[in-house]
A and B are shown apart, each in its own frame.
Chain A
Amino acid sequence: MTTFKPLLDQYSWDQVKKKIYSTRDQEVQYVLGKTKLDLTDFMMLLSPAATAYLEQMASRAQEITQRRFGKTIQLYAPLYLSNECQNICTYCGFSMDNKIKRKTLNNTELLLEAMALKSMGVEHVLLVSGEANKTVEINYFLNAISLLKPHFSQISIEVQPLEQNEYELLQQAGVHAILVYQETYHREVYKQYHPKGKKSNFDYRLDTPDRIGQAGIHKIGLGVLLGLEDWRIDSFFTAAHIAYLQRQYWQTRYSISFPRLRPAEGSVAPNFNLSDKHLLQLICAYRLWNDNLEISISTRENEAFRDHIIPIGVTTMSAASKTNPGGYVVDPQALEQFEVSDERSMETIKKQIQQMGYDPVMKDWESSYSGFIY
């Protein structure tokens, strides 16, 4: 299996940083005049110099996104399976050293939560868990998927990194997409935030998208946790990772998410702040660089920001999310992974999308395309 590591190792974090921060106005203008952008162009668009061109970038982003994805926004909701976790991640509410009540949904609870989502019209569901490799492992996931598959058009998962053969089992079981975020591409900083547990292995996590790609999963979701390191440099490496994967696994779709560090129980304050203005710059930079990347925004972001970016590059949004296992009906009081900022109902968000002239799409997949066995 080829991996991204040799490519990553070729770059020096400081060199990339220097290049981004020394980008000049003329270079940004040159990039904005191009129709096909490469990674170096993307780097320029992340620069402080490019911030002055935000309106121009947003207008291009809108045009490209509408051409490729139309005036549509896909909606999904997460379903948290478990908050059990054997990792210490100093920013996360589920971190092992947090003294919280741990919960893993059983079959009945899983179906109750699923029915709550169905009643909101959810067709695309994202299953989420912490990392508890003894209890919430491949067999647990396969069981959950077999219970949920009849009820949803599309099932995605965001759980601990797994082995390639486990991803193959998930693919056969009907999983559409796998999301796995590197959190940060800065090796040393990664170590500081992930001092304990299987997650502390930077390289195993880094190789995960390759294992997913090898297993033939339809879509891979990538991202970094914005706030751990300088977003400009971390985002450059994320894009470099996507560029590598796109060449390697050409049949796979890619999506990018922008989790900004949110307050959570026992968590640390972000080291780097990412303002709304810069988050928008980042979204536009991704869109100008890559016209077919799916761009996803979660309910971590507030209402006003989410509403305004509907027509600027976003393709996918979560809505009415609960980030605790059982959060919809079974155990609404359980501790959440992070504080949801946009708490509006699915109906309200759908109406808002319509008001912006966009079509909220609940179903854009046929479950029979997933898990097809030849």
Chain B
Amino acid sequence: MTNLHIANRSFESRLFLGTGKFGNLAEMGSAITASASQLVTVALKRVQQDTAHDELIAALDTTKIDLLPNTSGARTAEEAVLAAQLAREALETNWIKLEIHPDPRYLLPDPIETLRATESLAKLGFVVMPYIHADPVLCKRLENAGTAVVMPLGAPIGSNKGLRTLDFLEIIIEQSHVPVVVDAGIGAPSDAAKAMEIGADAVLVNTAIAVSKTPVLMAEAFKEAVIAGRKAYEAGLGTVSSQAVSSSPLTSFLFD
């Protein structure tokens, strides 16, 4: 299985995790370890400004995993840019998961603000990972703006509904020059495997693991599903046919 490259980093694991919604920090830590993830996202709003005393950060083994701060809570490009700058200072990383969802009901990303923020942050030297709708045209615009990856949603955040945007994800993957990370909506390991099979470069999972009755076991299940899906993609999946192909009724006359 090949490694995934984003900016100057190389990842063996193609599974990224979120750190929210866990019942306790120890369980979160164990689940992340079990998932073998090397990149986890942390909401800036959950972290104390003095990170040396932050319990959430302390529960993460930062020798093995990189932190990906996110701007959850920001409603505009300006708020997100400020959040990214605060996160860079607090967590000492120029990586930022851009989340701008002005709609608190479905937490759907604002494409206009996200594009504006990506333009500004790329100029400021950030490695920008924007959470977006599965909108192929927006993905191309973000590429032009200097994004490091695109993170289209499978379904609304926390919905566990799976890859409802499958057709659009396929277009995005086909066209993209930057890694495609399917984010949000992945509810079961089979969803993650499917995303990998169609050629996504990675997936980001949070709710399905955090809210599972046994987060550690579920984290393992996702780890294996992502590996299986990626291997299948690299091996080259067979095409799907609705009927057996045994004879050639239209062309057999040529060989009679």
A residues whose Cβ falls under 8 Å from a Cβ of B: 66-72, 153, 246, 250-253, 292, 354, 357-359, 361, 363-366, 368-369, 372, 374
A374 to B86, CA, bound (A): 17
CB pair B44–A366 under 8 Å, yes or no, is: yes
Give the distance to chain B from A175, nearest Cβ to Cβ, in Å.
15
Q: List 6 A-B contacts (CB under 8 A).
A: A67-B160, A246-B105, A251-B104, A359-B24, A366-B83, A372-B76
A179 to B119, CA, bound (A): 37
B140 close to A (CB within 8 Å)? no
- Tell me the dominant secondary structure on chain B's binding face: loop
- Contact indicator per residue, chain B 65-92, by CB within 8 Å of chain A (1) or not (0): 0000000011110110011001000000
Partner of B24, one of A153, A357, A365, A366: A357
CB pair A358–B23 under 8 Å, yes or no, is: yes
- Contact indicator per residue, chain B 5-42, by CB within 8 Å of chain A (1) or not (0): 00000000000000011111100000000000000000
Partner of A363, one of B20, B24, B46: B46
CB pair B75–A70 under 8 Å, yes or no, is: no
Given contacts A67-B160, A363-B45, A363-B48, contact A251 B25 (CB under 8 A): no
CB pair B83–A252 under 8 Å, yes or no, is: no
Partner of A359, one of B23, B45, B75: B23
Given contacts A251-B75, A252-B104, contact A366 B86 (CB under 8 A): yes
Give the distance to chain A from B187, nearest Cβ to Cβ, in Å.
9
CB pair A250–B23 under 8 Å, yes or no, is: no
Closest residue of B by beta carbon distance from A123: B48
CB pair A364–B83 under 8 Å, yes or no, is: no
Given contacts A251-B75, A368-B83, contact A361 B46 (CB under 8 A): yes
CB pair A366–B73 under 8 Å, yes or no, is: yes
Number of B residues near A (Cβ < 8 Å) is 32
CB pair A71–B210 under 8 Å, yes or no, is: yes
Give the distance to chain B from A289, nearest Cβ to Cβ, in Å.
13
Q: B residues within 8 A CB of A246?
A: 105
Partner of B74, one of A69, A72, A369: A369
Give the distance to chain A from B124, nearest Cβ to Cβ, in Å.
16
CB pair B20–A251 under 8 Å, yes or no, is: no
Q: B residues within 8 A CB of A369?
A: 45, 73-75, 79, 83
Which 8 interchain pairs have the tightest Cβ spacing? A70-B21, A71-B23, A366-B45, A253-B104, A357-B23, A66-B211, A251-B102, A292-B105
CB pair A72–B73 under 8 Å, yes or no, is: no
Closest residue of A by beta carbon distance from B73: A369
A253 to B207, CA, bound (A): 20
Other contacts beyond A70-B207, A71-B210, A361-B46: 10, CB < 8 A: A67-B160, A69-B21, A292-B104, A357-B24, A359-B22, A363-B48, A364-B43, A364-B46, A366-B86, A374-B78
B103 close to A (CB within 8 Å)? yes
Give the distance to chain B from A231, nearest Cβ to Cβ, in Å.
25
Q: A residues within 8 A CB of B105?
A: 246, 250, 292
Q: A residues within 8 A CB of B21?
A: 66, 69-72
Closest residue of B by beta carbon distance from A368: B82
A361 to B79, CA, bound (A): 23
Partner of A372, one of B43, B78, B86: B78
B111 close to A (CB within 8 Å)? no
Give the distance to chain B from A265, nearest Cβ to Cβ, in Å.
38
CB pair B103–A250 under 8 Å, yes or no, is: yes
Given contacts A67-B211, A366-B45, contact A251 B103 (CB under 8 A): yes
Given contacts A251-B104, A361-B46, contact A70 B210 (CB under 8 A): yes
Given contacts A70-B20, A70-B21, contact A372 B82 (CB under 8 A): yes
B158 close to A (CB within 8 Å)? yes
Give the distance to chain A from B32, nearest Cβ to Cβ, in Å.
15
Q: B residues within 8 A CB of A68?
A: 158
Q: B residues within 8 A CB of A292?
A: 104-106
Give the distance to chain B from A77, nearest Cβ to Cβ, in Å.
17
Q: B residues within 8 A CB of A364?
A: 43, 45-46
CB pair A67–B73 under 8 Å, yes or no, is: no
Closest residue of B by beta carbon distance from A250: B103
Closest residue of A by beta carbon distance from B44: A366
Given contacts A357-B23, A359-B22, A359-B25, contact A372 B79 (CB under 8 A): yes
Given contacts A292-B104, A366-B83, A368-B82, contact A67 B45 (CB under 8 A): no
A364 to B83, CA, bound (A): 14
Give the distance to chain B from A19, nearest Cβ to Cβ, in Å.
27
